[in-house]
Structure 1
Amino acid sequence: MERTQPLCDLNTSSIENIYIFVADAVRYDFVPKRITDRGRLFKTAAAALCTPQSISSIVTGRHAPRHGVTWFNDSLNNSVTTLFDFDVTSGYNEVVWEGRAVRDILNGPDRIDLDTVGEPFIALEHDNGGHSPYVGFENQSTAEMFSQISDEEELRELYRETIRESTKRFEERLDILEARGLLDDTLVIYLADHGELLGEYGGFIGHGLPSTPEVAYVPTVFIHESLSDDTSDTFIHHTDIFPTVREIIGDTSLTADVDGETLLGRVDRDRPAYTQGIMRPQAKYRETIIDPNYDAPSVWTKNGGFVFNRTNKLALPLTATFDALFSGYTGSFNSSRSSITSLLNSFDHYLSSERAFGEPSISKENARKIVDRISNISVETESRSLNDETKKHLEQLGYR
């Protein structure tokens, strides 16, 4: 396999700071040109299909089974090294998430103020991105919003407009760095935690499930004055962010066991990527026969991948039926608004044991070996109860 050095021209000697902007639910084919014109775009494999799992992989450099987080009531094991453990000022800010939902997953890193923080620093900010409810529906739940959208074209335009608003917030953050004279000293990384379904496959909307390219492929843009504004032909992974930042910061005192590779070195141009596709039911159904209610890990290369549905055969019909008829979310949107159509589409997708998408550069047999090797790993996490404020906000966002 051909190897490449995707960030070989990055002038690391001039970088004092790292600013990471995570835009929620922005799929690769919807990344705004206003952002890609600023730096180097990489097609990226999301580590997972929902925020708790993917953002934990971004900050640890580990595949999702190796950090153990599956839902908002999990917290990373304190023994796992994160971006917030480097010997520089570091912090995390939330825009979309209320009630400390994601901050607590990451073990409560300090907040950071771009207006006042001193160098060197690592700042990670998590923005609404393209997450529902969309612009104009902020005071409604995701299910209420979807019930009022007339067709797929309207859905996509609302999604685009929501991403545009997020892009404005991103540009405002860069304006702060520039006004303080810090932009030239800062590597800016724009990326999404996962993508989004917008009516594909007969009416699926959202993320988390099912596993598809629209949710697995996300953008990453590296922005620095030493980098040209182009599109790299190297396929990268969420897990590459941590080792890349570690090499730039140069904190050799911090040891970390990671799965990704630094993009400053030589990497395979089209490395297969593991993406976790696991969803668990409400707390009262945990550790039952329907836990997990969806388990479909996948392996992706730049132009396609394989999904392996390992969900319990008794749980699958329940998941398909709930999603089609009662969720008001992922399986409920189709042009006819027919419950029967939704149910048929949902069963067709969920009951498939294997699916191939596009033209993967890996064989199905080798993809399965990757899934078998990684999916069976188990790591202990800290579990906690979600407060009422957090539960209410997650329900509004479409989580159930």
Structure 2
Amino acid sequence: MDSYNNIVLYVLDSLRIDCLPNEWKNRSVYYPCISQSTWSAPSFSTLSTGLYPEEHGVMNWEHQIPEETQTIFEATRESSFYQETPGPGIKSVLKDPDWMPVEDLEPPFLYMERDCQSHTPFGEYDSVFEYYSATGKDYEQVRADYEEGVSQAFEQLKSRLRALEERGLRESTCVIVTSDHGELLGEYGTVGHTTPLCPELVRVPVLFLDLPEEDFQTEPGTIIEHVDLVTTLASEFDLPVAQQGVNILSETRDRRWGYSSVWQTDSKDRRFYEAAGAFTSESGRVLTDSSRFMQSLYAIYLMTKKAKRPAISKPALFKTLWERNPSFGTTPPIDVETLREFQNGLDEGTALDQTLDDGTEDRLKQLGYLDQ
């Protein structure tokens, strides 16, 4: 990547891999990727630090990356995190990096944008509850609205590429497209994201736009993780972050599965749902560390309190959360012991606590992350 001075990391929120338009897959070096968690706060923290969720410790909106943990925004180049639509506090989770559109940055720069057009609520609705109250369990309509949101997000990406062209910066800018996590469109009796830990929420694309495949030592089309993406950028652009993965430009990735984890807690930090998993493009294995009793309480909470409750199929969701250690596909990628060994080998980090301002809290309620 010697010819590149700048980095653009464009993150389409909630883009699941099977909804990636072929137009973009065909013009890019494409990798199926396993996101390190199933929702935005921990996933963006991984994309910013190169650490697994257990290591950076961020697993709710009141968390912030610790001061001693460096992020990609602390590189010796102009950097920015940007989001055009009103957003729910990702900037503060990431230690408040500068907030500028790509048009205002001077080379050499690093730019990460979160595009929320592929995130509920869609269309004319202001809140997730209003949207799902209108659609109910019409999952075909939910999918159609979601795919339209994905299309709009890629149109916005085109406008960012045009802005680089107009400034004469496109050829000197490495553009990567990915997502923080996937989305459920009626599978398992539910919609949205966060839980359960499952393939639809962790399989996301990574696209290197307009780069030749022969530049990559890890074969395009094989599974990578977000930590590999961060390691690659850190190695090539001298970014001051952890390198827990593989530089896919210069190394072959031997591990054929990716790791993901999630936990959901109450105000007393009790974990109602806790799971870790290993996934490939075709299969997956999940270890659930929360008890059936706690997961049953969590299911009742989702059905009665969460903004997406009008779209939940109660019997299907309850059955999903009752199941212990589910596997997906015909042959799980690894055995339980290997997955547990990998999980236990991760150093445990502690995030900082932060207080949300009223505006952020209100927006999180609109997006369904906090209860109304």
TM-score over 0.5 for the pair: yes
Partner of 2:251: 266
Partner of 1:114: 102
Partner of 1:4: none
Using the aligned pairs only, state the percent identity. Answer: 26
1:49 matches 2:42:
no
Partner of 2:131: 145
Using the TM superposition, give the Cα deviation of residue 74 of structure 1 relative to its aligned residue in structure 2, in angstroms.
0.8
**Structure 2 runs not aligned, ≥5 long:** none
Taking only aligned residues, the RMSD between alpha carbons, in angstroms, comes to: 2.2
Q: Normalising by structure 2, what TM-score?
A: 0.92
Q: 1:371 aligns with which of 343, 346, 362?
A: 343
Are residues 65 and 96 of structure 1, via their aligned partners in 2, closer, same or farther at CA, if it must alter by over 3 Å?
farther
Q: For 1:16-27, list aligned pairs within 5 A.
A: 16-27=5-16
Using the TM superposition, give the Cα deviation of residue 324 of structure 1 relative to its aligned residue in structure 2, in angstroms.
2.6
Q: 2:328 aligns with which of 329, 347, 357?
A: 357
| 1:45-81 CA-partner distances (Å, limit 9, x unpaired) | 0110110000100111111110011111111011112
**Structure 1 runs not aligned, ≥5 long:** 1-11, 335-341
Partner of 2:366: 396
| 1:325-370 CA-partner distances (Å, limit 9, x unpaired) | 43242x6536xxxxxxx33222211122210011333233322322
Q: For the residues of structure 2 that align with 1:205 and 1:163, how far apart are their CA atoms?
A: 16
Q: For the residues of structure 2 that align with 1:122 and 1:221, how far apart are their CA atoms?
A: 17
Secondary structure in structure 1 of the residue aligned to 2:323: coil
Secondary structure in structure 2 of the residue aligned to 1:277: strand
Secondary structure in structure 2 of the residue aligned to 1:399: coil
Partner of 2:190: 204
Q: 1:188 aligns with which of 175, 181, 186?
A: 175
Using the TM superposition, give the Cα deviation of residue 313 of structure 1 relative to its aligned residue in structure 2, in angstroms.
4.3
Secondary structure in structure 1 of the residue aligned to 2:162: helix
Q: For 1:270-285, list aligned pairs within 5 A.
A: 270-281=255-266, 285=267
Flag as ranges the 4+ runs of structure 1 deviating above 6 A.
none
Q: For the residues of structure 2 that align with 1:226 and 1:184, how far apart are their CA atoms?
A: 13
Secondary structure in structure 2 of the residue aligned to 1:218: strand
Q: How many residues align structurally? A: 366
Partner of 2:119: 131
Q: Normalising by structure 1, what TM-score?
A: 0.86
Q: What amino acid is aligned across from residue 389 of structure 1 in structure 2?
A: G
| 1:97-119 CA-partner distances (Å, limit 9, x unpaired) | 436x0111111111233223221
Q: What amino acid is aligned across from residue 354 of structure 1 in structure 2?
A: N
Secondary structure in structure 2 of the residue aligned to 1:276: strand
1:157 matches 2:139:
no
Asked whether the equivalents of residues 301 and 362 of structure 1 are also in contact (C-alpha less than 8 Å), the reply is no
Secondary structure in structure 1 of the residue aligned to 2:112: strand
Using the TM superposition, give the Cα deviation of residue 227 of structure 1 relative to its aligned residue in structure 2, in angstroms.
5.0
Q: What amino acid is aligned across from residue 351 of structure 2 in structure 1?
A: T
Secondary structure in structure 2 of the residue aligned to 1:111: coil
Q: 2:311 aligns with which of 301, 326, 333?
A: 333
